[in-house]
Chain A
Amino acid sequence: MRPEDLYSDVVMFHYKNSSHKGKIKNPTAEQEGSNLSCGDSLHLYIELNGDILEKVTFDGHGCAVSIASASILADLVEGKSKEEAVEIIQEFYKMIKGEDFNAELLGDAMVFENLKQFPVRVKCATLAWHTLEQLLK
């Protein structure tokens, strides 16, 4: 297990340069998510156009893994319908658990395929995903 497996170029890019950081002024919906055990918290904002997630942003504080994962998630679901977003989230969970999953739906999120080597960081990588799932319910 090398640090590169966790802090890959893709992760570091999303952590430092996410285009989804910040608030949406008048969001259709928003949701707070937190990992109490480590003190991380994330706030997700979405703007819906009909059923389509027109815009997805986040703010809050967290480690590189949780921030990069939030950015990757936002990239993936922007422009998708609510139903498609839920499907993407479910495929992500399957990948994290080591089950069969549809790789075509996950794009950059594939960087977390090896996360099982870092079991304590699973909750970092899934924070945004759980938060969006909550928001879409």
Chain B
Amino acid sequence: MSSVRELDEYFEKLKTDFPIFSERPDLVYLDNAATTQKPLAVIEKLKNFYTETNANVHRAVYRLAEESTMLYEDARKTVADFVGGKATEVVFTKGTTESLNMLAYSLGLSGKYKSFVGPLFEHHSNFVPWQRIAHITGLKFYPVKIHGGELSLEDVEAVVKSCEKPFIFSMTGLTNSLGYRPPFEAIVELVHSADGLFVLDGAQLIPHEAFDFKASGVDFLAFSGHKILGPTGIGVLVGKKELLEQMNPFQYGGEMIDRVGEQETTFAPVPHKFEAGTPNVAGAVGLAEALRYVKNAGFEKITQHIENLTKNAIEKLTDIPGLILYCQKKCHGIISFSHENIHPHDLAELLSRLSGVAVRSGHHCSQQQLKALGVSSLCRASFYLYNTHSDIDKLFYGIKDALRWFS
């Protein structure tokens, strides 16, 4: 493994692949948990798709349509390879939120499941859809309490044991508010042995560590393109083929049908039965390019570099008097913090105005998580591959400068 400095130099070079940083040389972008910046290769891919290959997919027989369909299906194969699934298991959606809503509606309305279980630290997109579907269908809804930002296996075990079966368990692989990585591998087994389905929200996990869908044993995986250098508006649902085949579609319309009769309609095979309407073809092609970029950059290197940045940031920020870090045992690429003298909004505003540092402030779409910490708002710095250790210095000095205003 390369040294901290070697990795920093390596990724500093890669940073030049991202045009936004030459457009805005003073930008210190630390809001990667919200969305990531795009390399030129992805931007060019989108442009080339529209200038050279644009046509609707899976309909027409002319040459251009064939080429766009091939690009779209190649993108599906690239995504499948990236997460260790099969192309027939990959459904393109507009993002994690749509993937999770698709599951909540399709599984929830099927009548097969009696209850839903999920921890309270979830992003609203993996909480509200299930809560809502439970209201509509009468499914029992069991939130699992959290301790600070952590989950205890005993609590999960107790709820899983007592909930009505069969059930759906949905959880994130990495919390977006605190960068806590719950021990989901152990929970997958627990859920399966108790007649449950396991859904993994990979919005934060997939950009941060190599993942193998088949080996993981999870039943479904949802993630977004834009958090892993891809375009906005494209996301993925990966599901075990036999489960996808049993499920009803989420939306109905063109492309997802087989035979349409006056009274009855049959549906296309998976994954197309979940892709009603004209899909985001350019987005899928752009996402595939982003995944190739990540793969070429080296996933192990990325994971290590982000761990190094996180460790460095924790060490530096710990030295600021009055600063509270909300790290659980270990944070992965995401650090939430606050300061006793300054409200998170003011801190984020001053970090931006004084030092060009972009951090998030607010409840991070996770109100129940913040409630468990007893706070209503936090600042969050989150890292990705193009961040360097000099960005951490700028964050450190930026916080100190901001605090001077409020001393």
Contacts and interface: CB of A to CB of B under 8 A. Distances in A.
Contact of A64 (B343, B353, B362, B370): B343
Given A38-B345, A38-B377, A39-B363, 4 more contacts: A1-B353, A37-B363, A39-B362, A63-B345
A124 B405 contact: no
Interface stretch (A2-10, A25-33, A99-107): A2-10
Interface in A81-137: 118, 121, 124
7 contacts: A37-B363, A39-B362, A39-B377, A40-B345, A40-B377, A62-B343, A64-B406
A60 to B, nearest CB: 10
A3 B405 contact: yes
Query: Considering residues A3, A12, A41, A121, which has the most beta carbons from chain B within 10 angstroms of its beta carbon?
Result: A3
B242 to A, nearest CB: 41
Nearest to B348: A63
Contact of B346 (A37, A39, A61, A64): A64
Contacts of B344: 63
A63 B370 contact: no
B402 to A, nearest CB: 9
Given A62-B343, A63-B343, A64-B343, A38 B363 contact: yes
A39 B370 contact: yes
Contacts of B370: 39
A65 interface: yes
A12 B407 CA distance: 11
Nearest to B378: A39
A61 B367 CA distance: 16
B20 interface: no
A2 B350 CA distance: 10
A10 to B, nearest CB: 14
B406 A41 contact: no
A63 B342 CA distance: 8
Contact of B376 (A7, A12, A61): A61
Interface string A21-64: 00000000000000001111100000000000000000001111
Interface of B: 342-346, 349-350, 353-354, 361-363, 367, 370, 375-377, 405-406
Contacts of A1: 353
Nearest to B376: A39
A65 B346 contact: yes
B398 to A, nearest CB: 12
Contacts of A61: 343, 376
Contact of A38 (B353, B354, B361): B361
A124 B344 CA distance: 13
Contacts of B363: 37-39
Contacts of B376: 39-41, 61
B393 to A, nearest CB: 20
Lowest 7 CB-CB distances: which A-B pairs, in order?
A39-B376, A63-B343, A63-B345, A39-B377, A3-B353, A64-B346, A63-B346
B123 to A, nearest CB: 15
Contacts of B362: 37-39
Given A38-B377, A41-B376, A3 B345 contact: no
A36 to B, nearest CB: 8
B350 A7 contact: yes
A137 to B, nearest CB: 26
Contacts of B342: 64
Nearest to B347: A63
A2 B362 CA distance: 22
A7 B346 contact: yes
A3 B354 contact: yes
Nearest to B406: A64
Contacts of B349: 3, 6, 63, 118, 121
A64 B363 CA distance: 18
Contact of A124 (B345, B350, B353, B406): B345
Contacts of B346: 7, 63-65
A125 B375 CA distance: 21
A128 to B, nearest CB: 15
B23 to A, nearest CB: 18
B55 to A, nearest CB: 40
Contacts of A7: 346, 350, 405
Contacts of B405: 3, 7, 12
Contacts of B350: 3, 7
A118 B350 CA distance: 12
B364 to A, nearest CB: 10
A78 to B, nearest CB: 25
A121 B362 CA distance: 13
Contacts of B361: 38
